[in-house]
Amino acid sequence: MNQLQVSSQTLQQLLERCAQSSDFVTTSINLPDQQLTISYYKTLIDEKLLQYHVILPMQDRGREEKLEQLEHIRAWVPIDDIEITYEVDTVQAKLLCGSIMIQIDKSSLPCALVNIPNMLGLRDSNDTENEFSVVGPKVGFVEDIHTNIRLIRALIKVPNLVVREITIGSLSQTKVALLYLEGVTNKQYIDTMEQRLRDIDFELVFDSSQLDEIMCDNTWTPFPLFLSTERRDRVVYALISGQVAVISDGSPYFVTGPSTLFDFFISPEDYYLPWMIGSFFRMIRIFGVFFSLFATAMYVAITTYHYEVVPKDLLGPLIYSRQNVPFSPLIEVLFLEITVEFLREAGARLPSRIGQTLGIVGGIILGQAAVEAALTSNVLIIIVALSALASFATPIYKMSNTIRFLRFPIIILAASWGGIGMFFGIGFILVHITRLTSLGSPYMLPAFPLRVTDLRDSFIRSSYQWLNRRPQYLRTGAPTRYTPKVVQRKHELDDE
């Protein structure tokens, strides 16, 4: 039986499971002759409405009479959407949809469920700003931690979604929420992440990205070891897969882990398209990263040491394009690469309309002027432009920055020892990433150590028929997500 769906449970068991979350509140209303118990998720309701439309009217009415039967609460509370139920499943569904539960006798049925939805904190336009998707939802997070938790609970409506709040920052006293699925996420990852959060001794926490760097297994690496995202669907998918999510108040970014290298090349759009098309685009992104990382370095190695590998038909145009360039290939490449980085940084810091104009016009003008002034070759302009475009194929901005950074040492190695220097750089990167871990889990999974079954969602995205099991390397408590059924196609001609 799926551990996320418990069909037979008592109200006491439900309340115990809900109480594991820091945002679940159980309080009492003290009336002159009796005491009522109220339970609710504070991230799902508007507590001002609770105070003014439930608690105060009940206290005023309680001075005059006693609530003999729970059914009479409809006359006490000026809210239309009130349901009296004896069903625990109904209580669970209503609590997770923004209702409060009122009881006369604690932990006993019946219960009164009063709907008090929370519509505060959401923006009119809550689209993601940096992680775009043509197909699928575009819901992003905001800077309010309770609103972000409510956005997650809107999709995962089970009490197994546990939220633990931790306070970090000696000056800021910032609230940090740790989210996971009880019964699914490995307890070792939960304990490790919580211990690292509690061990943080920091003055002021501005953003979740600071926690990303402080909590990571190795700070001496350019590779991001936790995935930072502003997309709700990506965080929900990480939670149901068995990962842990962390967010700080004042930040619109969640941090999820343990992460692998392949997680940074996966786009949520892959799962909204047919699996063959999604797999094709994923492989395009992976190829784009390799091209962006090694294209300009290969140009330097070939033009400096390995002219013999260039076909005769291409050797003439290559020599012609460089015959008036007074600089070595290394200086030529570094000049263009640094120019592209200047354009990127200037476009990112300026207002959006000015930044776009600067990037397009500046790139065209500088590229044309550099060729006419014989500062660089036409061939290199094409290679650098394609490398810059390919680096943006990575869905996660932090990994894109890593690729941009690694390109420069690879270029210097290629200029120093040619192809041997490039292979030396590739070997160093491979050894480095195979030694990295995220929450103690190897960074190169499922490729190294090899997990054949987990390759179904790494280089390619397999059909949903084969994605019914959670990744083995996460060692989840519930390995199976769903049970696919065999499709039996029936043709109309078969009935004749």
For the chain, the first-to-last Cα distance in angstroms comes to: 41
CA distances from 478 to 240, 309, 469, 472 (A): 10, 53, 9, 10
Indicate if 295 and 433 belong to the same structural domain. yes
| Residues belonging to the chain | 496
| Partners of 36 in beta bridges | 29
pLDDT in the model for residue 359? 63
Indicate if 371 and 469 belong to the same structural domain. no
pLDDT in the model for residue 222? 94
Indicate if 318 and 250 belong to the same structural domain. no
Counting the structural domains of the chain, the total is 3
Indicate if 413 and 490 belong to the same structural domain. no
Indicate if 44 and 126 belong to the same structural domain. no
pLDDT in the model for residue 120? 57
Choose the final residue of a domain: 93, 115, 137. 115
pLDDT in the model for residue 3? 47
Question: Is residue 15 within 8 Å of residue 107, measured between CB atoms?
Answer: yes
pLDDT in the model for residue 108? 76
Choose the final residue of a domain: 115, 139, 172. 115
Indicate if 106 and 140 belong to the same structural domain. no
Residues 29 and 332: their CA atoms lie apart, in Å, by 75
Residues 221 and 126: their CA atoms lie apart, in Å, by 33
The residue segments making up the domain with residue 64 are 11-115
Per-residue pLDDT of the chain in tens (496 residues, 90 and over written 9): 444 554 457 888 899 999 999 999 999 888 877 888 999 999 888 888 888 888 888 888 888 888 888 888 888 888 888 899 989 999 999 999 889 999 887 767 888 899 887 765 555 566 777 787 788 888 889 888 998 999 999 899 999 999 999 999 888 899 999 999 999 999 999 999 999 999 998 888 888 888 988 999 998 999 999 999 999 999 999 999 999 999 999 899 999 989 999 999 998 889 999 999 999 999 999 999 999 999 999 999 998 898 888 888 888 888 887 787 888 889 989 988 888 888 888 777 776 666 666 666 666 777 777 777 777 888 888 898 888 888 888 888 899 899 999 999 999 999 999 999 999 999 999 999 999 999 999 999 999 889 998 999 999 999 998 999 999 999 999 999 888 877 666 665 555 5
Indicate if 222 and 130 belong to the same structural domain. yes
pLDDT in the model for residue 126? 65
Indicate if 15 and 60 belong to the same structural domain. yes
In a domain, 276, yes or no: no
Indicate if 389 and 486 belong to the same structural domain. no
Indicate if 204 and 87 belong to the same structural domain. no
Indicate if 107 and 143 belong to the same structural domain. no
Indicate if 45 and 93 belong to the same structural domain. yes
In a domain, 165, yes or no: yes
pLDDT in the model for residue 314? 82
Phi, psi values for residue 111, rounded to 5°: -125, 145
